[in-house]
Structure 1
Amino acid sequence: MTITKDSSAPLVAVVGIAGVQGGSVVKELAESSKSYRVRGFTRDATKPAAQARAKQGVEVVTVSIVVENKDEVYKAFAGADVAFLVTDYWEHMDMEREINEGKLQIDAAKAGGVKRIVWSGMPSFKIISNGKYTNIEDCEGKFVVSEYGRASGVPFVDVQAGYYGTTVFSLPILIGDKQADGTYDMPWPVHPTTVLPFIDATHDYGLFVRHVLELPTFPDGQTVVAYGEKITLQDMAAQLAKGTGKPVTFKEITPDQFKTNLGTMGLPASLHDRMAAAWGALADFGWEVTNTHDGLPRKPRSWAEFVAHADWSKALA
């Protein structure tokens, strides 16, 4: 099971091979019994992750996918059969930039002759909430790109990444500080029965992309949520406690308390309302997941399995 150079195999262009989602896509294509050629895009081919992909047989292309570099982006997609596209809002936190760069990828893939596009999008909570939550930019920008992709004329599927398990490491306030009695309270601004579609993205996101590409009929226009398990927050806390042997419980806090906690991390104030709104939308409306795990090449990790594989020595010190 390797990535091939055989010209008879479909050529898959993968954006962000040194990142979580792009790297996971390459991993899964390499594990497939089907043959793929892979052209992987990165801004820095010297990164260890990019070099590791090259050793797997990936054709590594150094390209910055920004509007100012349009000609090079178009060249990078030329001749590809399939494209996996992704943007990173959190790199610059500029919704208009994300929309423009997402549209650029779609336009370049179409011009390059791509016959199928898989895009990493998100739901619009502005629409889901009937206008109650309008400022969740990391979701709204991706949704705009999704609609643009569906109208492109190229068969298009949105594979949304569920809630990253690793978020508890990048936002340590979600675990909370160790209390005087030795416990951890997982202070989140939602009800304990709120359900998240958790995913170990590095390990499993690409599994769903591979599944979509290998279906007998490409599910044009559909949305798939990549998740390992749909789980309540109170169960996440209980399983974290069981898996680590640490006393962890869930604690519901107010949105204002959550924003205060965000401030302790030095995050810009402009983000506080936006991130609190995201949790409010999840609590009020949930994250709709209609697809199952049926037909996946293997079973994705559950939260308990993620807990067992992760290093908690710093988060639960």
Structure 2
Amino acid sequence: MTITHAQSAPLVAVVGATGLQGGSVIKALAESDKLYRIRGFTRDATKAAAEALKKQGVEVVAVNLVVENREEVYKAFVGADYVFLVTNYWEHVNQAREISEGKLLIDAAKAAGAKGIIWSGLVPVRQISGGKYSKVLHFDSKAQVADYGRASSVPFVDVQAGFYATNFVGPFPLLAKQPDGTYALPWAARPSTVVPVIDIEHDYGLFVRRVLEAPVFPDGQTVYTASEDISAEDMARQIAEITSQKVVFKQITPEDAAQKFIADGFPSAAATDAVEGFLFFDEFGYYGGKPSASSEGLARPTRTFAEFVKSADWSKVFV
């Protein structure tokens, strides 16, 4: 454990400290042999995850990172040497809000005199697809914020998150139970479609740590993270082999995919966002044709998808 309160150590401010990405960043920095002061932001500093961070030595700050709370947001970043910034589109499903809040975070970091900004972005789908896929809003909004960050004059690195492995066991599991009791992975994409899957809690923070511990902060770099690049068909096969459940990949139409998302509780616009996303992955690649980042120089190996499957709790999926 290397979290410290010594003023000689750099102060890293982490947005979403009790969430998947921010939590992974704190975990990776805490494992380092370098000393860090860490300030973690959360809306509720009394919840169990926040209390656990306090016990590790993290300075936990309760703040609502919204435009209406601009003054308090600016105060929260004061003294930060480096910042990790992330927004959660799925919390409100509002592109304009995500863009405005992302820009607010960058402005606050700049006002605080931060030496470097690390932003959790995604590729500009509309631009890469020539307008063919114009409704993958949560990708395009993060890409717009990244453009704003690069123009901020503060050293800026975009560390993009791959496809969450936890999507398979989250509140909206990707697997669907079939009438015969078996399970399908129903995607509006070909079985050969390769995605950069990442065990977000275990691995994402490693890439952020590598940026912070580079000999020189790599201003302008974009890091396309992945634990493993793997096809949709191979994911279904590995889940089946490891869990001993009957699981197959099933390519479905975009219309059927949208209906499934809506049936699972997605708002209509969010369902369209998700479906166009899969179509984009199939045609252009998750990162728009850019290769996933090398794991060279990471503090420890990333997990394979099979290792994630072995470690995950599937009790709420296979019911």
Q: TM-score, normalised by structure 2?
A: 0.96
Q: 2: CA distance between counterparts of 1:245 and 1:72?
A: 51
Q: 2: CA distance between counterparts of 1:45 and 1:141?
A: 28
Q: 2: CA distance between counterparts of 1:52 and 1:151?
A: 36
Match of 1:40 in 2: 40
Q: How does 1:92-241 map to 2 (within 5 A)?
A: 92-170=92-170, 172=172, 174-180=174-180, 182-241=181-240
Which range moved further: 142-151 or 259-268? 259-268
Matched residue of 1:174: which SS? coil
Q: 2: CA distance between counterparts of 1:156 and 1:266?
A: 36
Q: How does 1:50-89 map to 2 (within 5 A)?
A: 50-89=50-89
Q: 2: CA distance between counterparts of 1:148 and 1:189?
A: 32
Residue 173 of structure 1: how far off its partner (Å): 5.7
Q: 1: CA distance between counterparts of 2:82 and 2:172?
A: 37
Q: 2: CA distance between counterparts of 1:258 and 1:177?
A: 14
Aligned length: 316
Partner of residue 301 from structure 1, selected from 295, 300, 303: 303
Contact 2:161 2:225 (C-alpha < 8 Å) held by counterparts? yes
Unaligned 5+ segments in structure 2 are none
Match of 2:263 in 1: 264
Match of 1:4 in 2: 4
Match of 2:246 in 1: 247
Match of 1:310 in 2: 312
Q: 1: CA distance between counterparts of 2:173 and 2:199?
A: 19
Q: 2: CA distance between counterparts of 1:130 and 1:242?
A: 39
Identity, in percent, stands at: 54
Q: 2: CA distance between counterparts of 1:173 and 1:12?
A: 33
Matched residue of 2:197: which SS? strand
Residue 113 of structure 1: how far off its partner (Å): 1.1
Contact 2:237 2:247 (C-alpha < 8 Å) held by counterparts? yes
RMSD of aligned Cα (Å): 1.2
- Counterpart of 2:119, as a letter, is W
Matched residue of 1:101: which SS? helix
Matched residue of 2:12: which SS? strand
Deviations 1:183-216 (A, max 9, x none): 2121111000000000110111111100111111
Q: TM-score, normalised by structure 1?
A: 0.97
Q: 2: CA distance between counterparts of 1:267 and 1:59?
A: 35
Q: 2: CA distance between counterparts of 1:199 and 1:291?
A: 12
Contact 1:18 1:47 (C-alpha < 8 Å) held by counterparts? no
Unaligned 5+ segments in structure 1 are none
Q: 1: CA distance between counterparts of 2:209 and 2:84?
A: 10
- Counterpart of 1:261, as a letter, is K
Q: 2: CA distance between counterparts of 1:20 and 1:186?
A: 24
